[in-house]
Amino acid sequence: MTTINLKEFFYWYKTDEYIEVTDEVAEELRADKRYEVTHHRRMKRNKANYSLDVDDGIEYAACEFQPSPEVALDLMEQYRRLCCALNHLPPVQGQRIDAHYLLGWSIREIALAEDVSCRAVQISIDRGLRAMRKFF
């Protein structure tokens, strides 16, 4: 058994606090402390300090968008209505709109897959979108 000072390992201890732990736990705590010091030194050496004022997009990658409950409910309602409108279309129009807008296929790829002309696919998608607008 080894006696360690918790103040050395945890910053929130303001006074000395000694406890007795097993040798494995003490070694693990020391290894973690060494890793933290090494990491801090490596960051300082490589100048890996990022500022959110640089406007290079790091702040957007670091911050996740958390919508408010009202926005989340509005998005869910809009998604439900969109699915309802898509399900009310004829199957061919629904599949073509799904392939083009949701799967990202081009009109040409859809036409080749269904063995029809590109114009027929374009007309079908346009009519389907008009029908969905009326449904909304």
- Token pair in block for residue 22: 């097993």
- The closest alpha carbon to 85, from 48, 126, 131, belongs to 131
Q: pLDDT digit string (tens) for 8-66?
A: 888 888 898 899 999 999 999 999 999 998 988 888 887 766 665 666 666 666 666 67
User: What are the residue ranges of helices labelled H in 54-100?
Assistant: 58-62, 69-87, 91-97
Is there a single domain that holds both residue 100 and residue 121? yes
Which residues lie below 8 Å from residue 23, measured CB to CB, with a gap of 6+? Answer: 1, 2
The last residue of a domain, from among 64, 99, 117: 64
Asked if residues 132 and 85 have their Cβ atoms less than 8 Å apart, the reply is yes
Structural domain including 59 reads: 1-64
State pTM to two decimals: 0.48
